[in-house]
A and B are shown apart, each in its own frame.
Chain A
């Protein structure tokens, strides 16, 4: 059994390490699920927004937070003509189609919006549609009556004329029995109906309607200002964050280590050049440089990753690794290796680097969340990848829409919680690994 496996086996003695591993496993599972359930191209397409989300309310909080606080905010209700029987009567030259869409409304709050999406097929003459709203106690309220095109959105809640008739905005007035203009209208629960009557002038013409009564709450994580379900971005943020953190940590740690080892091994001017480069690089500010690259060039996440790795190579780590490697350089086994003919590259990669690699594992693990946070910080600063959904982008959107001012706490808390969970998981594992692999902390 190699020392590596022995070290990993000792992880079992640290409950915090197991908890950290559990968190990391959860994140990895989320990442794998995200990548398999929503392919990369589809995720980018979805996050662009648009029609895919037209059935969802804007800025809806998660269902469970409302229920947890004892609320009964409405969910979104969708009823389509496909779900009900459409009656048909024939007259001379015209057909009258009639559909009744039931809206079961047991909630304690008014809906956010009411839209009817109508699609019809015809050759020349547009169908004529008349809409009537029926309350649970049989009262009928005439809504709109109009010709409809091939694909049309009838915004019932935007109907100003209806609003003045009802004395409330339509989404309130249609669901209450309060006197028009009352201060505190209450919801009347029960089953409402939307009656759609269409006059078709052509024999083959069709009509499909889709009523959406938008709720105040949605799903596990709510929606944002573009009606996008945050679940997509929270799920897809996981593989992006893990990949960014892991690649940046691996990229910087390994190259830094190899460069430090090269400097230590050759010494002389090679070492001097590496040390001076490091000293210059250490005083260069990373964030402003990234902001500059993002502003002037591109905010692609992979370009940012590249810049982070390149600037991370000649980092303070070189000094630390150098101090660890200098005594090893003089070790008799290195002298022996030279004496039996090992070349420079072999000595650096097989004799110097592996000697301190175990000590680096904890540093490396605790470095991963640092880069995850860096990516999120960049996104919050508006330098996030424009097409890829990430945790940082959610925070950026939330900040741009003043989410906290408007009380959309869920919008900030969910991505922040995931970021913190990531940090916690890797930190707990890293600290335990540090105790195992770092000889100075052993038996402490």
Chain B
């Protein structure tokens, strides 16, 4: 039995070891004809390396279809990785099954994009929140009720009694997302994976939910992996950001560094597409990368960004994929031949 205990993780964190360590991760989905003849595969995650420290918030940024949600699901053990290693608290995730896998799932919280869809519509909030506790063997109705109330109050649904008996459709989108966050926190996880947690919410409640995530992340010293397509929400809420393109991480750096000195042409393009609250912008011509997101079934050769890249070097970029760790600065990693 290799279930890491909270005290063990705390001591590991103290020694500076990362909570999550991902090396060469690949998640491919087979394309089959007639149900059994393999005719190709979707390379949704195709060689990803990164680490996540305790108490650290890291953003994964990328456009739709770049593989960031597949990455999240692989980390949640919802997809089986094709290759590569995931270590959580020093324990390898590969081949984990049965009670060990269940124990791992209890230590990772998941916040989804669509809060209404994430809550079973036929259960009331009390029942929804009791489910993870029942599954993880929290016995005693009173004990469960106490923890549910505490979680609801922690995410700002006070008094808990007002929310407990309601059904998901009786709550607003923001309240629903708070319940989802409460559910993710219930089992006292070491890490939370939030997949586009605010993209389906009204602009007015996005900030509240992001503030809530940051608060609980700090209070519980959680590792938070924040997946988004929206760079504008990244600036204030994360420590580090990773930019994903075509199933790979093309650049990772502390968020201030990344925003100030983007190294990869794709990051530059993303940043230039970002709205800036400046009146002059209205008349400025922006440079937006043309073309389509890359196919994950037949990805471009060499650097996956080269067909859309302004700086592509013929005879180099389309032939050889760049290694992911050109480091202009120690904590800034870029996968681009420009930085060779």
**Which A residues fall within an 8 A CB radius of B?**
2-3, 272, 331-333, 335-343, 346, 350-351, 354-355, 358
Chain A residue with Cβ nearest B113: A332
The secondary-structure label for the interface of chain B is loop
Leading 10 A-B pairs by shortest Cβ distance: A332-B117, A341-B105, A339-B110, A340-B132, A341-B102, A333-B120, A332-B118, A339-B76, A341-B135, A332-B112
Given A332-B112, A332-B114; A338-B119 close (CB under 8 Å): no
Q: Contact check, B135 vs A340: say whether CB atoms are below 8 A apart.
A: yes
Chain B residue with Cβ nearest A332: B117
Q: Is B187 an interface residue (CB 8 A)?
A: yes
In angstroms, Cα B98 to Cα A343, docked, is 9
Chain A residue with Cβ nearest B127: A350
Q: Contact check, B132 vs A351: say whether CB atoms are below 8 A apart.
A: no
Chain B residue with Cβ nearest A334: B120
15 inter-chain pairs at a CB distance below 8 angstroms, sorted by A residue, are: A3-B122, A332-B114, A332-B117, A332-B118, A333-B117, A333-B121, A335-B78, A335-B110, A336-B118, A339-B76, A340-B135, A340-B136, A341-B135, A342-B131, A355-B121
Q: Contact check, B118 vs A333: say whether CB atoms are below 8 A apart.
A: yes
Set of chain B residues within 8 Å of A336, measured between Cβ atoms: 110, 112, 118, 180, 183
Q: Contact check, B183 vs A340: say whether CB atoms are below 8 A apart.
A: yes
Set of chain A residues within 8 Å of B117, measured between Cβ atoms: 331-333
In angstroms, Cα B110 to Cα A375, docked, is 52
Chain B residue with Cβ nearest A340: B132
Chain B residue with Cβ nearest A338: B78
Q: Contact check, A333 vs B119: say whether CB atoms are below 8 A apart.
A: yes
In angstroms, Cα B119 to Cα A331, docked, is 9
Q: Contact check, A340 vs B120: say whether CB atoms are below 8 A apart.
A: no
Q: Is B108 an interface residue (CB 8 A)?
A: yes
Q: Is B167 an interface residue (CB 8 A)?
A: yes
Interface string of B122-155 (1 = CB under 8 A from A): 1010000001100110000000000000000000
Set of chain A residues within 8 Å of B108, measured between Cβ atoms: 339
Set of chain A residues within 8 Å of B113, measured between Cβ atoms: 332
Chain A residue with Cβ nearest B105: A341
In angstroms, Cα B105 to Cα A340, docked, is 5
In angstroms, Cα B122 to Cα A355, docked, is 7
CB distance from A339 to the nearest CB of B (A): 4
Beyond the given A340-B187, A358-B122, please list 11 additional residue pairs across the A-B interface where CB-CB is below 8 A: A3-B167, A332-B114, A336-B112, A336-B183, A337-B120, A338-B105, A339-B78, A341-B106, A342-B135, A350-B131, A355-B121
In angstroms, Cα B135 to Cα A341, docked, is 7
In angstroms, Cα B131 to Cα A341, docked, is 10
In angstroms, Cα B183 to Cα A343, docked, is 17
Select one of B73, B110, B121, B124 contacting A340, CB under 8 A. B110
Given A346-B135, A351-B120, A354-B122; A340-B106 close (CB under 8 Å): yes
In angstroms, Cα B134 to Cα A337, docked, is 12
Set of chain A residues within 8 Å of B102, measured between Cβ atoms: 341, 343
CB distance from A5 to the nearest CB of B (A): 12
